[in-house]
Amino acid sequence: MSPSREPRLIRRGVFWLLLLGPLFFLSYGLANNHTAGRSDVGSLVFGWESRMPLWPWTIIPYWSIDLLYGLSFLLPRTRQEMDRHALALLTAQLISVSCFLLWPLRFTFERPELGGVFGWMFDVLMGFDKPFNQAPSLHIALLVIIWTMFARHVQRQPWRWLMHGWMALIGVSVLTTWQHHFVDVPTGALAGFACVWLWPHRGQLPWQQVRLARDAKRWRLALFYTVGGLLCAVPAVAFGGVWLWLTWPAVSLALVALNYAVLGAGGFQKCADGRLSNAANWLLAPYLAGAWVNSRLWTWRHPQADEVCDGVYLGRIPGRGEQFAAVVDLCAELPCHVQHSAPTQAASAVGYACFPTLDLIAPESPLLHQAAVTIERLRSQGPVLVCCALGYSRSASAVAAWLVLTGRCSDARQAEALIRKARPGVVLHSAHRQALQQLGTQP
C-alpha cells in the first residue's frame, strides 16, 4: 500500500512546473541560437547510423515526454520527493545546456519532407528545435529521471509493463525521428542517472556525506581507482569510436574513488532492503560487475558459509539460492538478494540488516557495536548469516564484536581465534583489532 500524500503537494508541483517550464524553453532556445551562429560546430556520427530508419510515427512518443514531464509532478508523496525530482530535472537541464555551449555538436542527416499529421508535428518541433543541441541528449536525460519516478509509483500490472514499454519507445524515438545521433543517447542516460544519484528521492544527499577521509588506506585506494579511471578515459578520448565505451568504466571508477576519498560507503547508495539505488546500479555497473566476479573468484573453492557458534554463520554475499532466516550485511558495494528459509516470513526488512562499509577498510567501532547488537537480536529468528563481499574481513570483525559483547569470548584475541577455527581464511588487520578493542567504550 502506497503512503498517503502530504497536503498541498499538487500546488507545489504546479509551482515547480511554472518555474521549470519557462526556464527550459529560455535556456534551450538561447543555446540553440548561440550555437547556430558558431563556425566551429562539429559532429560525431558512426558509419552504421546511415542505415538508421526514419519512422515518422515515432514523433508521437517523442513528443509525449512533454506530457509525462508534467504528469510526473502528480506522483510524489512527500515534499522531499517532489523537490528532489524537480531539482534532478533542473540539474539535467543545466548539465546538458552547459555541454551544448562548451562542446557543440550538429546532427548531420537531412530529413526528407513529410506530409500529414506527422509532418505537421515535425514542422512544429523544428520551429523551436535546431540540430545543434546533441550530446548529452537532454531528451534522454529527462526521460531517465521521469522514468525513474514512474517506475517507483506505477506498480500494478499490466500498467507497469505498458509504462516501461512506452518509456523505452521514447528512448528509441530520438534516433528514429532523426533528432539525435547515437552518441547522444548513452551520454544523455549518463547525465540522467547522475542527476538521480545526486538527488535521491529519500535519505541523505551525496554532498551531505562529504568528509575527507582520515585513513591513509582510503586515500591509497582512492588513488588506485582514480588511476584505473584515467587508464579507461585516455583511450576513449584519444581514439574515439568503439573506445568511447570506456567512458562508462572511467566514470564508474571515478565515482568509486570519490567514495573512498570523501563520500564513504553512502556513495554506493545501498538501501535498507539490500539493493543499490537504480542510479548507483547504472553508474557503477562496470565496477559492480568486476567486484562481483572478484568476490566469486576469491571464494570459489570455499563458497559456503561457516558456522562460528550458536547459529551465527560467516560467509560471502549470498547468492539467490542460499537461504538464511536472517542476514547481517556489511558490504557497501554489492547488492544482497535476501532469501528466507521460513516461508511464513513476510518481508525482507524483518530478517535483514545492512551496515554498509567500504571494502578493504576496517569498520569503525560504533558500527561494529550496532552490528553485534543486531546479530544477537536476529538470532531469535533462526540461523543468521553475517556477510560481506568475501566473508573474510568486514563481516569477521562484526562476528568478533558479537562474540565479545555477548560474553561468548573474553576479548578480541579469543574471538579471532574462534572465528579462524571455523573459517581459516579470515583476515583481520591491526585496524580491525583496534576497533574491536574500543568496543568497551561504546554505550
In angstroms, rounded to a whole number, what is the distance separating the alpha carbons of residues 360 and 357? 9
DSSP three-state, residue 343: coil
- Residue 428 contacts residue 416 (beta carbons within 8 Å): yes
Nearest to 352 by CA among 380, 326, 384, 318: 326
Q: For cell 573512498, what's the residue?
A: 260
Burial class (CB in 10 A: 0-12, 13-18, 19+), 205: middle
Cell 569477521 sits on residue: 396
3-state DSSP call for residue 272? coil
Q: How many other β-carbons are positioned within 10 Å of the β-carbon of residue 198?
A: 17
Burial 213-227 (b: 16+ CB within 10 A, else e): beeeebeebbeebbe
99 assigned to active site:
no
Render 287-343 in DSSP notation, one character per residue.
HHHHHHHHHHHHHTTS-S-EEEETTEEEEEPP-TT---SEEEEEESSS------S-T
- C-alpha cell of residue 392: 573474510
Beta bridge partners, 354, equal 329
Residue 386's DSSP bridge partners are 314, 328
Q: How far apart are CA 228 and CA 81, in angstroms?
A: 35
8 Å CB contact between 145 and 196 = yes
Q: CA 151 → CA 26, 86, 154, 160, 163, distances in Å? A: 29, 16, 6, 7, 8
Order of strands across the sheet that contains 352-357: 306-309, 312-316, 384-388, 326-331, 352-357
∠ CA 50-51-56, nearest 5°, is 100
Whole-angstrom distance between the N-terminal and C-terminal Cα of the chain? 37
Q: Which listed residue (99, 195, 387, 388) is catalytic?
A: 388
DSSP secondary structure letter of residue 168: H
Catalytic residue positions?
388
